[in-house]
Amino acid sequence: MKRILATALSVIMIMGVLTGCGKEFDASGYVKACLDANVHGEFAEYAKITGTEESELQSRHDEIIDQEMAALDSLPMDEQKKNDFRELFMKLYDSCKYEVGEAVKNEDGTYTVPVTVYQLKAFKTLIQDGQTYIQEYYQTQAEAGNELSQDDLYAAMTDYIYDGLNANVSNPEYGDANTIDVTVGPSAANSRIYEIKSEELQNLLYSMTDAADQ
């Protein structure tokens, strides 16, 4: 089941912004647009800032989601259940909350952009509770004279996780505000192109849900 959790919020896209002469770079706007594209699938502003077609961004977004969902292929579930999980994870993304603060320009030419994250408590104790559920399920079925295969147990666990996750996302709860600084600076290849450090963006995305705590 860890493979299911691994689909939650991976970096979909990071594109640099070519800055113009005499115009102050809007680092906060860039970070917000990047997060909106990665998390909520809202591409309009990101496309405008980076000079990219929305259709291209949508295509990249869909490809990454497809790659993430491929992690479920090894689990015993039919196509309908896989599609249900895809829709559920999109719902999870939409439920993530964050606020982008005002950027501060540093002496080295980089910008520090504070992002306040309210961690979505989507998974809570699902994995731990699921293990107890499966043990009790197996015992009940055995007492009833039903023999269960490993695939039967995986399927039961998958259904349990789906139902619990869907319930948690449908009635979302959030953790306390946590402010994380993101660095935006010139790329190594071109000092006029500003970009977010990929590892910082990844860590920021991971912080938006409790999936990494499982």
Instruction: Assess if residue 146 is contained within a domain.
Output: no
Per-residue model confidence (pLDDT) at position 36 = 94
Instruction: Assess if residue 61 is contained within a domain.
Output: yes
Per-residue model confidence (pLDDT) at position 23 = 66
Per-residue model confidence (pLDDT) at position 4 = 56
Instruction: Assess if residue 145 is contained within a domain.
Output: no
Domain that holds residue 67: 2-126+159-213
Instruction: Assess if residue 141 is contained within a domain.
Output: no
Instruction: Assess if residue 119 is contained within a domain.
Output: yes
Per-residue model confidence (pLDDT) at position 6 = 53
Question: Residue 79: CB partners within 8 Å, gap ≥ 6?
Answer: none
List b or e across 112-124, with b for residues whose CB sees 16 or more CB atoms inside 10 angstroms: bbbbebbbbbbbb
Q: pLDDT tens for residues 14-60?
A: 777 766 555 678 999 999 999 999 899 899 999 998 888 999 888 88
Instruction: Assess if residue 133 is contained within a domain.
Output: no
State how many domains the chain has: 1
At 124, the amino acid letter reads K
pTM of the model: 0.87
> What is the chain's Cα-based Rg?
21
Per-residue model confidence (pLDDT) at position 65 = 81
Per residue of the chain (214 residues), give pLDDT as tens: 555 555 556 666 677 776 655 567 899 999 999 999 989 989 999 999 888 899 988 888 888 888 777 777 777 788 898 899 989 988 998 999 999 999 999 999 899 999 999 999 999 998 889 889 999 999 999 989 989 888 889 889 889 999 999 999 999 999 999 999 999 988 887 778 888 988 888 889 889 999 877 6
